[in-house]
Structure 1
Amino acid sequence: MNEKILLINDIPGYGKVALAAMMPILAHMKYDVYNLPTAVVSNTLDYGKFDILETTEYMKKALQVWDELGFSFDAVTTGFIVSQEQADIVTRFCQEQSCRGVRIFVDPIMGDEGHLYNGVETETVERMRNLCRVADYIMPNYTEAAYLAGMDCREGDLDETETRQLVDALRAICPHSILITSVRTGGTYVVLGYDHERNTYFQLPYNLIPVRFPGTGDAFSAILTGQVLRGHALETAALLSMESVRNLIAANMGVQDIYKGIPIEQCLNLVEEVQTD
């Protein structure tokens, strides 16, 4: 029977981000995919005008019903969390699931480019740390990693000592595996990682494609979850995820409206599906 993955993230009405990006990818990778929306969003935020319907009350009631019905999952992946109350709800739920042997993947969505997103309060950082403490895998970008670690965001490159300090600061919060995206070091961009199962650090360089599609982080998170659950080591799973996202971006460079994200359903053949030997 296919493994069951619960995705906790927002759902857009217009645009291929969050659940609209993650669900097709993981279904294509042959997983049973379920979702708990944290918000219904009119469209991707890149358009500059949007409306958000928070779903906190629905989340509480849905989780209660699922518990009464005895629903279970093999993995949980979390993304955008709207409020402090939601963060507490999701953390408690993930803690309970972790105690049952469910693997927890956390993308601590809070900010980018050196600052928190509009509407994200400083208290959110501490609550996201609490969620990271119960995770098996966390996947912050550099800005989010720095906030979680209580370190300043650097505009320039990090040196080798600073990259290790950043990873180790997150290891003090999340005792398991860590990936940090969008880090600049040695004149290039890299994904930093620590694999707790192998007790290994790694650094994966990549060439930055000069176009920004919303939802590529969600795609990366989904593919990584799927590849880890296939049995790949974290470094291999990260490489496969990076290559898939690069292919998705490269194949859509010519689209006119990049704000709505990559048309995932039309590009699923580009999602890497190498099987574990």
Structure 2
Amino acid sequence: MKRTPKAAVFNDLTGYGRCSLTVAIPTLTNMGVCCCPAPTAILSNHTGFERFFMVDFTDNLQGYIDGWREQNIRFDCVYTGFLGSERQTTILEPYLEECRRAGALLVVDPVMGDQGALYQCYTEEMIRGMRRLIAQADIITPNFTEACFLLGREYEDTVSDEKMRDYLRQLADMGPATVCITGVAQDDGNANWGYDRATGEYVKSPFSMLPVHYSGTGDFFCSLLVGYVLHGKPLSWSLNRIGELITKAVSMTYEMGTPILEGVLLEPLFQEETLLKLPR
């Protein structure tokens, strides 16, 4: 039997409103990847709600990592999402380097903001910390807002293909071999973009946009990409398949009248779709 790959996933654990670890765990499990969660914060419900309870896990993160070290636990992939403080980036830097030397794939989803603005908890120090993390990564998956902040560029409502290629190259020059930028609004519609520095391949994957925004779609994107890469799927096929799945999940969520704060529905999607369907 084929060995099950293991992925350590550093992200917040939010009890209500599908996002972060509650999206990554079922997605990776569905794709035949053992998801090993490492909480960066614990929330009663996500920050889109007017009120929420939150425990910052920064003071416990080093001990959590040391617990894995003491047991000599090794991972095929280390995947980071929302980080609750600049100190968390400092804690993760040497651990990512250690995992790289052991042969792990490093994936950084630089969760910092959306729709042209940073999340309230983010600071300039945290942006600098995130730049250090992406320098170590093999793959990064910023949305367009996050790509602009990482590059120090002004956010634009729409952007040309030429500028997207430029942004992808500049991000790859910061360290990662593969760059994916999600949720890009362009004159001819919306698209996810990818770039493979080794081959010079650019991928533009258009998708249909509904007039609604659910939490968890970015986490779903990155988790799907991690699963496909660990199973050897090519970048262009992966981005197109991910676009299909997210579009279907958002459409189902919208058609069922799901309250926006509940996040994107995955349960009915998983009943209908085989996430590891072979390339067409």
Q: Which residue of 1 aligns with 2:228?
A: 227
Q: Which residue of 2 aligns with 1:19?
A: 21
Q: Distance in 2 between matches of 1:82 and 1:136?
A: 22
Once the two structures are superposed, the pairs formed by residues 249-268 of structure 1 within 5 Å of their partners are: 249-253=250-254, 254-268=256-270
Q: Distance in 2 between matches of 1:64 and 1:145?
A: 32
Q: Which residue of 2 aligns with 1:73?
A: 75
Q: Residue 197 of structure 1: CA displacement?
A: 4.1
Taking a change above 3 Å as real, the CA distance of residues 267 and 24 of structure 1, as seen in their structure-2 partners, is: same
Are 1:6 and 2:13 an aligned pair?
no
Q: Does the Cα contact within 8 Å between 2:208 and 2:247 map onto a contact in 1?
A: no
Moved more, 190-199 or 145-154: 190-199
Q: Does the Cα contact within 8 Å between 2:206 and 2:243 map onto a contact in 1?
A: no
Q: Residue 172 of structure 1: CA displacement?
A: 1.6
SS in 2 for 1:236: helix
Q: Distance in 1 between matches of 2:204 and 2:278?
A: 23
Q: For 1:206, give the aligned amino acid.
A: F
Q: Percent identity among equivalent residues?
A: 29
Q: Distance in 2 between matches of 1:275 and 1:5?
A: 22
TM-score norm. by structure 2 comes to 0.94
Q: Which residue of 1 aligns with 2:276?
A: 273
Counterpart pick for 1:146 among 145, 148, 163: 148
Q: Residue 131 of structure 1: CA displacement?
A: 0.4
TM-score norm. by structure 1 comes to 0.94
Q: Which residue of 1 aligns with 2:168?
A: 167
Measured on the aligned residues, the alpha-carbon RMSD in Å equals 1.6
Q: Which residue of 2 aligns with 1:213?
A: 214
Q: Deviations over 1:125-179 (max 9, x none)?
A: 1110100011110000001001111111112x22233222211221121241000
Q: Which residue of 2 aligns with 1:238?
A: 239
Q: Does the Cα contact within 8 Å between 2:10 and 2:79 map onto a contact in 1?
A: yes
Q: Does the Cα contact within 8 Å between 2:253 and 2:264 map onto a contact in 1?
A: yes
Q: Distance in 2 between matches of 1:213 and 1:196?
A: 31
Q: Residue 271 of structure 1: CA displacement?
A: 5.3
Q: Extract unaligned runs of 5+ from structure 2.
A: none
Q: Distance in 1 between matches of 2:8 and 2:50?
A: 30
Q: Distance in 1 between matches of 2:58 and 2:95?
A: 13
Q: Residue 24 of structure 1: CA displacement?
A: 0.6
Q: Does the Cα contact within 8 Å between 1:133 and 1:173 map onto a contact in 2?
A: yes
Q: Residue 276 of structure 1: CA displacement?
A: 6.4
Q: Which residue of 2 aligns with 1:55?
A: 57
SS in 1 for 2:162: helix
Q: Residue 203 of structure 1: CA displacement?
A: 1.3
Q: Extract unaligned runs of 5+ from structure 1.
A: none
Once the two structures are superposed, the pairs formed by residues 92-107 of structure 1 within 5 Å of their partners are: 92-107=94-109
Q: Deviations over 1:182-231 (max 9, x none)?
A: 11223311112101343211211111122211111111111111011111
Q: Residue 111 of structure 1: CA displacement?
A: 0.8
Q: Distance in 1 between matches of 2:122 and 2:8?
A: 24
Are 1:193 and 2:194 an aligned pair?
yes
SS in 1 for 2:48: helix
Q: Distance in 1 between matches of 2:152 and 2:274?
A: 35
Q: Distance in 2 between matches of 1:256 and 1:65?
A: 39
How many positions carry a matched residue from both structures?
Answer: 276
SS in 2 for 1:158: coil
Once the two structures are superposed, the pairs formed by residues 102-181 of structure 1 within 5 Å of their partners are: 102-155=104-157, 157-181=158-182
SS in 2 for 1:213: coil
Q: Residue 57 of structure 1: CA displacement?
A: 2.2
